[in-house]
């Protein structure tokens, strides 16, 4: 059956949003096209009317996911004017975020897979990372732009490494220790020096 242009567009967006969550939960290869479509309330056949291939879906889902990340950080920054970086770090380094990758940081969830992915996917992610680093640099105290950018990179790498480690480890105490230590470390970077 055919469906209105609007309905079709909504369906496409629904699939894309769902994919961006499932990929972060299970990895690219852990999500099948058929399962995804079914969970979106559709059948597998229509998939190729909306996307060129699974790779294409991956690229679009990653672009969406990382732009959602950026948007969320902007919101956090807006709601915490003077302590923007601290607010973002607290959120990213929380147990809640560690335990629910679905809507969380794309790099911590998919970084290694992205580095093996399609050029298109890598490019979308690269742009997203650059935007995030720009945002963080703008929020960092620092004598110069250069210093702010360096602090932003240092903070972002620490955050991502900590999430990755905290998720990999099966010992809750160690996992909490990692998150807490990273929070302290990033707070120090965000403090006026």
Binding positions for DNA, rule: CB under 7 A: 1-8, 11-12, 31-35, 37, 42-50, 53-55
> Which of 58, 76, 158, 190 is close enough to bind a copy of itself by CB under 8 A?
158
Pair 182, 158: CB distance under 8 Å? yes
User: Does 107 help bind a copy of itself (rule: CB under 8 A)?
Assistant: yes
Task: For 111-120, give one letter per residue: b (16+ CB within 10 A) or e.
Answer: eebbeebbee
Structure tokens at 34: 């058929």
Binds 54: which of a copy of itself, DNA, none (CB < 5-8 Å by kind): DNA
* Residue 160 to residue 162: CA distance in whole angstroms: 5
Q: Please, which residues have CB within 8 angstroms of residue 188's CB and are 6 or more apart in sequence?
A: none
Closest CB 47 distance from a copy of itself, rounded Å = 21
* Residue 76 to residue 87: CA distance in whole angstroms: 7
User: Does 139 help bind a copy of itself (rule: CB under 8 A)?
Assistant: no
Nearest to 110 by CA among 70, 163, 158, 154: 163
Closest CB 132 distance from a copy of itself, rounded Å = 10
Nearer CB in complex with a copy of itself: 18/129:
129
User: Does 85 help bind a copy of itself (rule: CB under 8 A)?
Assistant: no
Number of other residues whose CB lies within 10 A of the CB of residue 38 = 12
Closest CB 33 distance from a copy of itself, rounded Å = 15
Binding residues for a copy of itself, per CB under 8 A?
26-27, 29-30, 107-116, 119, 122-123, 125-126, 129-130, 150, 153-154, 156-162, 164-165, 167-171, 174, 177-178, 181-182, 184-185
């Amino acid at each position: 059956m055919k469906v209105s242009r609007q309905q079709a567009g909504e369906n496409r967006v629904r699939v894309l949003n769902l994919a961006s969550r499932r990929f972060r939960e299970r990895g690219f290869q852990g999500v099948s096209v058929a399962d995804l479509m079914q969970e979106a309330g559709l059948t597998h056949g229509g998939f190729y009317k909306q996307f060129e291939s699974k790779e294409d879906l991956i690229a679009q889902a990653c672009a969406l996911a990382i732009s959602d990340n950026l948007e969320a950080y902007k919101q956090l920054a807006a709601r915490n004017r003077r302590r923007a970086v601290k607010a973002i770090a607290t959120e990213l380094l929380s147990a809640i975020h560690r335990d629910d990758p679905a809507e969380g940081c794309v790099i911590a969830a998919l970084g290694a897979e992205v580095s093996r992915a399609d050029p298109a996917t890598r490019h979308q992610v690269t742009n997203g990372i650059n935007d995030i680093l720009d945002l963080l640099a703008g929020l960092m105290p620092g004598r110069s732009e250069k210093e702010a950018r360096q602090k932003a990179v240092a903070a972002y790498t620490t955050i991502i490494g900590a999430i990755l480690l905290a998720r990999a480890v099966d010992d809750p105490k160690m996992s909490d220790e990692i998150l807490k230590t990273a929070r302290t470390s990033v707070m120090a970077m965000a403090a006026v020096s």
